[in-house]
Amino acid sequence: MDHPADLQPAPAAIAHAPTVRQQLFEFVLQLADTSLVLGHRLSEWCGHGPVLEQDLAMANIALDLLGETRSLYQYAAQLEGQGRTEDDLAYLRPATAYRNPLLVEQPNGDFAHTVVRQFLFDNYHYHLLLALKEGPDAPLAGIAEKSVKEAAYHLKWSSEWIIRLGDGTAESRQRLDKALATLWRYAAELTTPTATETALQGLGLVPDYADLLPAMQAHAAHVLAEATVPAPQVVPFAQRGGKGGQHSEHLGYLLAELQYMQRAYPGLTW
Amino acid sequence: METLEKDLSRDDQFQARIDADVRIEPKDWMPDAYRKTLIRQISQHAHSEIVGMLPEGNWITRAPSLKRKAILLAKVQDEAGHGLYLYSAAETLGASRDQMLADLHSGKAKYSSIFNYPTLSWADMGCVGWLVDGAAILNQVPLCRTSYGPYARAMVRVCKEESFHQRQGFEIMQTLAAGAPAQREMAQEALNRWWWPTLMMFGPKDSESPNTEQSMKWRIKRFTNDELRQKFVDMMVPQAEFLGLTVPDEKAQWNEARQAYDFGEVDWDEFWSVVKGNGLCNHDRLQARVQAHEEGAWVREAALAHAAKRAAREAAAVAV
């Protein structure tokens, strides 16, 4: 059985110039923070899902994201070369040092909010990983290669639920509309590059997000059409800041819970 | 008269199959009482898996390392999976999942009382794995040979995963016991709280367990409550010693003559009180399940409505 504790050691990092290494560290950390925070949110559903099968599905996605998180933090720690571990990176950084986009820290809300948040993320995540696995940095490509298979399943799950909720009952439609109206404002940040991402894109280490957009938009249009949901007429003001460490009020509470044990009992082994 | 004789002979034939260790399958004839007992037992077991997700779920978001978080989440997910196989096994006897859930939510159906105790520290994740899953395994391993085929087969899979969970729980305890003083204290404090409730998991004393005899005869049950409780104590006292921890029972001493551990009397008033709904978490656990079910109603309705629309469209497309 594939056990979550048994992670493959990452292949050795290729030699990058120190500035590039630092930028790549920041980018990998951003990806790790993103998967950790979203996986944490999904794990909050555990035991409380709308039906047992979906409880299992959400725990499964949370586990995949957590597995990806660990590989990414391990690689980030290696790039940094300061002797920090995956747990140091996850548990001992303040919210302002977290680099996840705002979308993934948004609270679960009802099942429609969780599904919309997941769909917006999965559509980006899957297409990003698809490109990263062909990228020149072997360790990152290796992590992407493993995770893209899982992300394809996640995108299938969230797409199917968008369709079911959109083309289900009047209530599910109303809840879906509300969730889309709430969360759409956080979608643009995913594909808006930070200075670090732009620099890495210039070096070909990170895909140009403009190249990902056509496939992402085509998939979203297809799913929304199946769901009989018209594309949002008024696009709300795009919120961003998380990738630069400027978060919403929600992340502090999430980290207070996530980091509780390591903060209360510093330096112990668990 | 003729039907009665026929039924009697069917009963005898049924018992003869049981005695010969032939598995009973869903389409086979079985006495009503056998069917009812199994539905009650299997659905209780399924409910225990689902309610059991809550006390451990309580620590997923606070697990102290990413590795522990992944292991705990996978474990709780396994429990959801066990719930699914068990509900399916009960369905082969003609019970519906909706009805079983309605019985859980109304309080008519029971689940294991152990989950009405709170999980208050990280060491509880160790104790739940080590002791609670340890007790569950002793109860469940004999069920892999139980007379009803679908239940026995579900239990083979459940037991494999449970023993994995138990090792993980023991390993949490080992890490704490070998750790800093604060961690050792945490481990001992958790053991103090979980020890007696886990002894209660084997059910009332044999002298007060009215269903045992018939269940043993049908080979739904293979050991009595007291036999299993003794086995558990014999297994766990040395393990606690190995960890450098002490079980909270001064009477837990090796008895050379019996070749077994003596141990003190379980507080049966507490046992019955929690069974009757007065444990610290009875209300919250059930409320959490009811709330998840009620808040999920619109999701389940949407899925059904969409499936119906889709089927109608497909049928229309075929008609054209």
CATH number of A17-233+242-264: 1.20.1260.10
Instruction: Name the minimum distance, in Å, from the CA of A182 to any CA of chain B.
Output: 19
* Chain A neighbors of B179, CB-CB under 8 A: 268-270
Please say whether the beta carbons of B86 and B46 come within 8 A: yes
CA-to-CA distance for A251 and A131, rounded, in angstroms?
29
List Cβ neighbours of A203 (8 Å cut-off, separation of 6 or more): A20
Q: Residue A67: which of B70, B179, B295 has the nearest Cβ?
A: B70
CB contact under 8 A, B298 and A262: no
Question: Shortest CA distance to B168 belongs to which of B134, B120, B129?
Answer: B129
Per-residue H/E/C for A75-110: HHHHHHCCCCCHHHHHHCCCHHHCCCCHHHHCCCCC
* Chain A neighbors of B292, CB-CB under 8 A: 47-50
Tokens representing A55 are 């409880």
List per-residue pLDDT tens for chain A, 270 residues long. Answer: 344 455 555 555 567 899 999 999 999 999 999 999 999 999 999 999 999 999 999 999 999 999 999 999 999 999 999 999 999 999 999 999 999 999 999 999 999 999 999 999 999 999 999 999 999 999 999 999 999 999 999 999 999 999 999 999 999 999 999 999 999 999 999 999 999 999 999 999 999 999 999 999 999 999 999 999 987 776 778 999 999 999 999 999 999 999 999 999 999 999
CA-to-CA distance for A87 and A19, rounded, in angstroms?
24
Question: Shortest CA distance to A211 belongs to which of A112, A128, A114?
Answer: A128
How many beta carbons lie within 10 A of that of residue A162, not counting itself? Answer: 25
Report the predicted TM-score, pTM, of the whole model to 2 decimal places: 0.94
Instruction: Name the minimum distance, in Å, from the CA of A183 to any CA of chain B.
Output: 19
Instruction: Name the minimum distance, in Å, from the CA of A194 to any CA of chain B.
Output: 27
List Cβ neighbours of A183 (8 Å cut-off, separation of 6 or more): A103, A106, A113, A116, A117, A120
CA-to-CA distance for A202 and A141, rounded, in angstroms?
17
Please say whether the beta carbons of B149 and B89 come within 8 A: no
Mutation to test the A interface, candidates B50, B299, B300, most A Cβ within 10 Å: B299
- Please calculate the CA angle A203-A204-A206 and round it to the nearest 5 degrees: 110
> Any idea where the domains of chain A sit in the sequence?
17-233+242-264
CA-to-CA distance for B40 and A143, rounded, in angstroms?
47
CA-to-CA distance for A192 and A243, rounded, in angstroms?
9
CA terminus-to-terminus distance, chain A: 23
Question: Shortest CA distance to B132 belongs to which of B193, B176, B188?
Answer: B193
- Please calculate the CA angle A149-A151-A153 and round it to the nearest 5 degrees: 75
User: Regarding the domain delimited by B10-268, which CATH topology (the fold level of the hierarchy) does it fall under?
Assistant: Ferritin (1.20.1260)
Mutation to test the A interface, candidates B61, B66, B91, B161, most A Cβ within 10 Å: B66
* Chain B neighbors of A163, CB-CB under 8 A: 306
